[in-house]
Amino acid sequence: MAHTSTKTGTRGFKLSFEFFPPKSEEMEHQLWATVDDLAGWDPEFVSVTYGAGGTTKAPTLAAVRRLIGETGLATASHLTCVGATREEVAQVVEDFRAVGVKHFVALRGDPPTGVGSAYQPHPGGYENAAALVEGLKTLGDFEISVSAYPEKHPESADLSMDIDMLKRKVDNGATRALTQFFFDNDHYSRYLDRVHAAGITIPIVPGIMPILNLNQLKRFASMCGTSIPASLDKRFEGMDDKPAERATVAAALAAEQIADLQARGVDEFHLYTMNRAPLVNATLEQLGLQRSDATVRNRAGALA
C-alpha cells in the first residue's frame, strides 16, 4: 500500500485528510480502502481522531502505526486531555512517539458525559487545549495543530473568547489551526480578519465537510455550533431517494466552497472524509484535479 508523493504544486493548494479509527472488521476494511484510494491526491498529511478519556487510544494507535509503517503518508494523531492526568497524557504521547508520530492535533476533547454538558478538567490533568499544547512542547519537538471555530465554540461566551484561546494555543507552540466545518465562507473570512487583528499569523486551514447525509449533518452541526444555510435544503430538495444525484450535488457544493475560498486567497484545505473516498474524489475531480499516475494505475489494476 506504499505511496510515494508526487506533489508538484500544480493544483495550487495543499490538502490534508481526517480519518477516524474503525470499530469493526467491516469498518477496518473500509478505512484502508479509503486510505489507499485517497493517497493518490498526495496529501500534506492525514490525521486520525482520538476519543475522550483515551477511549479510542488502542484503535487510534493501531491505525496510526499502520499509516506510518505501510503508506508513507505523513500522519498526525489527535490527542485530547479529557479524563486523564498529565502523567497519563505523557504516557500516551510516548506510545505514539514510539510508532513514529511527530505531529499531534491537540484538542481539549468533549466531556465524557457528552457534547453540551459542562466540562470539568481532570484533577492533575490539563485544564484546556492551550495547556495541552504547552505540555506537548515540554515532551518533545512535535508539530502541533489545534482547532479553530469560525462560528465560535458552542461553550464560548463570544467569539473574542475563542480567539483569545487560539492566541494562547499559538503562544504555547501551535503552528497550524484546523477549523470546524462551515458552509458560509463569509463566516470564515470575517473570522480570519479578527484572527489576524489579534496578531495570530499561523495558517487557519478551513475544514471542509462534503455532505453525505444532510439530516445527519444538521444534527451534528447543531451540537458544534455550525450554521446550515437554507440554500442547502434547496439544493438537496427531492433527492432523499436519489443517492446518485444527491452525491453529485454534494460534490458540487464542496467543490464550489473550495473554489470560492481559493478565490479569497486560501491555499490549504482539510477534508473530513468520514472514512469514505467516493465523495472526496468527486469533489476534487469537480475542481479539475487528477490523482497521481501511480495511484491511477494501482486502482486500474485492482479493478481489472
What distance in Å separates the CA atoms of residue 116 and residue 180, rounded to the nearest whole number? Answer: 16
Q: At what angle do helices 25-38 and 278-286 cross, to 10 degrees?
A: 20
Supply the pLDDT for residue 82: 84
Q: Report pLDDT for 133.
A: 98
pLDDT at 5: 37
- Can you tell me the distance from the alpha carbon of 70 to that of 26, in angstroms, rounded to the nearest whole number? 20
As averages over each run of 10 residues, the pLDDT of the chain (304 residues) reads 44 93 94 97 96 70 96 96 90 96 92 58 86 97 97 87 96 97 97 97 97 90 89 90 92 98 97 97 95 53 34
Q: What is the chain's length?
A: 304
**Closest alpha carbon to 15 in 201, 297, 208:** 208
The predicted pLDDT at position 241 comes to 85
Residue with cell 436519489: 242
As annotated, the active-site residues are 18
Cα(229)–Cα(227) distance, integer angstroms = 6
Closest C-alpha among 72, 41, 75, 42 to residue 281: 41
Cα distance between residue 257 and residue 261, in whole Å: 6
Hey, how many other C-beta atoms are within 10 angstroms of the C-beta on 239?
16
- Taking residue 103's Cβ as centre, other Cβ atoms within 10 Å add up to 17
Please report the domains of the chain, with CATH numbers, ordered by start residue: 14-303 (3.20.20.220)
Phi-psi sector, 53: left (phi>0), alpha (psi -120 to 50), beta: left
H, E, C per residue of 161-202 = HHHHHHHHHHHCCCCEEEEEECCCHHHHHHHHHHHHHCCCCC
